[in-house]
Each structure stands twice: as C-alpha cells, then as structure tokens.
Amino acid sequence: MLLMKRLFFLFIIGICCRVSAEYTYTIKVRSHLFSTQYDLYADEQLIAKVDQSALETYSLFDSYGREQAIGKVHLVSIGTVFKSLKTIDVSDSKGNLIGWIKGDWRTLKDGKFLFYDSQSDRIATAYVDQKRKKVSIVDPSNKENLFVLFRFASIAKKSRWEIDVIQEEAIPPEMLYIFSAFITHVYK
C-alpha cells in the first residue's frame, strides 16, 4: 500500500511539473568525427543547436545558424578527471561574460552544479540524480523552487532528454542550452 501511495505521489508531481512548464524541449544528438551537435526542439521546431568541439567548447546557435554564445570548459582543472567538477564560462557572441557554471563536490548527489551570473551572484543550483535519470535546477536559496527539470526518457530503443522549463526568466537561455548539451554529453 505504501508503495502505491509513493507511486501515485510521483505520478502527480510529474503531471504538475509537466502542466506548469512554460515550455518543454528535447535534444537530438548528432555525432561527427571531431565534434558533436545537439539540436534542441520545442514542439518539433528547432529552437537552437549547440556544437561541441573536441576541446569541449560549446558553441550555441539560434535556429537560423547565428552564433549566440560560447561555453568554454576549463581544460586544466580537477574537472579534467571528474566530469561533475567541470567549470564552464559562458559568453555572448561578442565575448561578454553571461555567467559560469561550476561543478561542486559538496553533495551526496551524483553531481551538483552552481550557476553564477556575470556579477558573481549565484542564480541557480543543479542537482544530478543518475539513479532516477533526472536533473533538477532550483533556486539556490530554496530547493523547493524548481526552475528546470531534465528527465531522461527511453522508448523503443530510442533515448533522449526532455527538459521542462518551469521558470523561463530564472536562467539565461544561453547558459541553460549550453548546460543541456553538457548534461547530454556527460550523463548519457
């Protein structure tokens, strides 16, 4: 009986998150010889794409192919050994810092990432749960305030990440889309 109650509770939470999302997008991965491309789709329309180079630079383009931002991973850091400790600097197409995403080792979860804006203010925290195949991005001062929910779905030998954006204004889209490509790459 307790198991049924828990399953029902999780089902209701899933429905609430789905209904309250401002928009949902999925990621289609295309691998090339020296790079990987992550196409982001909302309502089956391409909204953006992220190209990842062999040196772990993430270039974000809009649906028309115009560069919007660049995410550069710190190559010489503890993140070289532990992927969950990487740091990604995100700048716009003119080189202006938008913010950065930093892996944090102080967690019992599979991964924790801290989002900072260009003023060094923490704007969000992401928690990775590999067992449940989800990533939650929340308010840094209130874990109950959900901004974005990543869910890994596997249907008929096809798998993909589905991302529900619940509070669109909480995280700059450039940071969110580059982080989405990073999560898709690291947590397959």
Please state, in angstroms and rounded to a whole number, the distance separating the CA atoms of residues 171 and 153.
Answer: 23
pLDDT for the residue numbered 155: 75
Report the C-alpha gap between 90 and 178 in whole angstroms.
Answer: 8
- Confidence at residue 7, expressed as pLDDT on a 0 to 100 scale: 42
Query: What does each of the 188 residues of the chain score in pLDDT, given as a tens digit?
Result: 544 444 444 444 454 444 478 999 999 999 888 899 999 999 999 999 999 998 889 999 999 999 999 999 987 666 555 667 889 999 999 999 999 999 997 765 678 999 999 999 999 999 998 788 899 999 999 999 999 999 988 777 777 889 999 999 999 999 999 999 999 988 76
Predicted pLDDT of residue 11:
46
Q: How many CB atoms lie within 10 A of CB 125?
A: 20
Which pLDDT does position 131 carry in this prediction?
Answer: 81
- Compute and round to an integer the Cα radius of gyration of the chain: 16
- Interatomic CA distance for residues 131 and 149, integer angstroms: 15
Q: What is the pLDDT of residue 6?
A: 46
pLDDT value of position 10: 42
Tell me, what's the pLDDT at 79?
A: 55
Domain borders along the chain are 23-186
In this prediction, residue 108 carries a pLDDT of: 59
Residue type at 88 in one-letter notation: I
Q: Beta partners for 28?
A: 39
Alpha helix positions (H), the chain? 2-20, 173-186
Phi/psi at 22 (nearest 5 deg)? -70, -40
